Amino acid sequence: MAGQRRGKKTGSISKASDGWKGYVTVDGQRKYFWAKTRREADLKRRHLVEHPEDVRNERAAQQEAVEPHPPTRNVAVFGSSTVGAIVSGWIDHKLKVERGRHKPKTSRGYSDHLRIHVNHPEYGIGDLDADEVTAEGLEDFFTALREEALLGASARRGIHSLLNSAFNFALERRMVRANPVPRYLRPAPHDGEIVEIDPAQVEQLLLHFAFDSTYEARWLLALFVGLRPGEALAIQVEDIDWNKGLLRVYQQLQQDSGSGGLILVPVKSRTSKRTLVLPDFVLEALKARRAALIEQQRAAGEAWNPWRGTGEQAPQFLFVQDNGQPIRPRLDYAIWKRLLEVAGVVREGVRDGVPVLEAVPVSRYACRHHAATWLLGIGNDVALVSRYLGHSDVGFTMRTYVSSRLSNASVAVRMEQAFPTYSDSEIVQVATSPAPAAAPPPIPPPISARSATPPGRRGRGSR
């Protein structure tokens, strides 16, 4: 009935900045939870109210997983814990209880946030009494993260989540009286307009590939398929169905920030694991790259030393250095910046007091934005594009890309024949038949043609 209040001990749910939050009280302590929708939050609340033993069992498991000290050690005296201490305790708990659930890079990221930012000697809050933290203090901290540490919205959102989880963890163990973090709203997903690579700059890259195709396949995958950098660098020869034009995306190549070594990890989320139908001109570039790989290995001879990782057999990566080693993330970034320079995607700058032409500051992720904008611009449904890119939330695709779609119709006309619109099942699932033949784009000429004559330019509208 509308307006009817819930009875005592039935918990509560309320709207949060990024979903719905709630709690139920079990044995005098609150159990907090979060959900994307109100319905999901209410279902969680009802389940916990009807099954309090689940909460007790969870607490018991967490208690056993904490360092083997006497039980009284885990119930701290109010006011005796610093922010740094409770964050460190939560990280230790995550590593012990939830080992294997997080990628090494994610776990290392927690520690880096604590060491570099929460415990920063100037603007950090790590040495503050956890019970004395206020919303105003958090606002000052996150302002410093933005203006002094120059952290982007994504990193600041991660630190907000880290603090919120750590305080909830401490609250359940009665180490603090309250969690002050929700009083400071989580930073918005984006600070402002996304820096994109524009059509003129893309055409400059395509012109360059007509004369030097060394890195063509790598960056066509970024510009028109939208692969994340780690996904592209992890592609092995066997991941591509060369006859059907299908690419299986299931892992990423990353560099562990602790050891510095390379690691192969699963893709970002369940929806990021996907099989994609490739545009014909991208498939042709990949075939050329496969042939170049064979020649690259022959030329290296005994110097060929492929990376083996943790397995006995070395993965046959499609993109490697001249000695067979994988392209590390930092090297991939350096190649991208150099590619922009030689392709003429430059601006005037000053280096050591001398005027120079330098690469336009466009990130590798701008290629992914271009792919999304292009896919949307040629008429694909946003839900289809979201699945093609491996997003877990269509709303993220809407917020990030739909508002910045290209208004330049010539780009869509130029590429629409190269990449026809597929149905939702055809584009993300393993196809049972070869991909439909697609005519090459009229402007510029097919990338696979390796034309010695640069493609002509056409007038463009506004972005």
Q: How far is CA 30 from the centre of its chain?
A: 32
Per-residue pLDDT, 100: 53
In the chain, count H helices and then E strands: 16, 10
Domains of the chain (ranges; CATH) run 12-183 (1.10.150.130), 199-449 (1.10.443.10)
- In angstroms, what CA-CA distances link 434 with 283, 291, 438? 13, 22, 12
Q: Which of 319, 322, 440, 429 is nearest to 384 (CA)?
A: 429
Per-residue pLDDT, 325: 93
Residue partners of 155: CB distance under 8 A and separation at least 6: 113, 145
Length of the chain: 463
Per-residue pLDDT, 365: 87
Please state whether 150 falls in left (phi above 0), alpha (psi between -120 and 50) or beta: left
Q: Could you give the CA distance from residue 282 to residue 218 in angstroms, rounded to a whole number?
A: 9
Per-residue pLDDT, 320: 95
Q: Could you give the CA distance from residue 114 to residue 265 in angstroms, rounded to a whole number?
A: 23
- Kindly report the number of other CB atoms within 10 A of residue 258's CB atom: 12
Give the predicted TM-score (pTM) of the model. Answer: 0.59
DSSP H helices, 129-237, are 135-147, 153-172, 199-211, 216-220, 229-233
Per-residue pLDDT, 249: 95
pLDDT tens across the length of the chain (463 residues): 444 445 556 778 888 767 788 888 887 778 888 788 888 888 888 888 888 887 777 777 666 554 444 433 333 444 468 899 999 888 888 777 665 555 656 667 778 888 888 988 888 998 898 888 888 889 999 988 888 877 878 888 889 999 999 999 998 888 888 899 988 888 776 655 556 788 899 999 999 998 888 999 999 999 999 999 999 999 999 999 999 999 999 999 988 765 678 888 888 888 889 999 998 999 999 999 999 999 999 999 999 999 887 766 789 999 999 999 999 988 999 999 999 999 998 888 777 788 888 888 888 988 998 998 888 887 788 888 889 999 888 877 777 766 444 433 333 333 343 344 433 333 443 222 233 333 333 323 222 222 323 233 333 333 3
Per-residue pLDDT, 73: 32
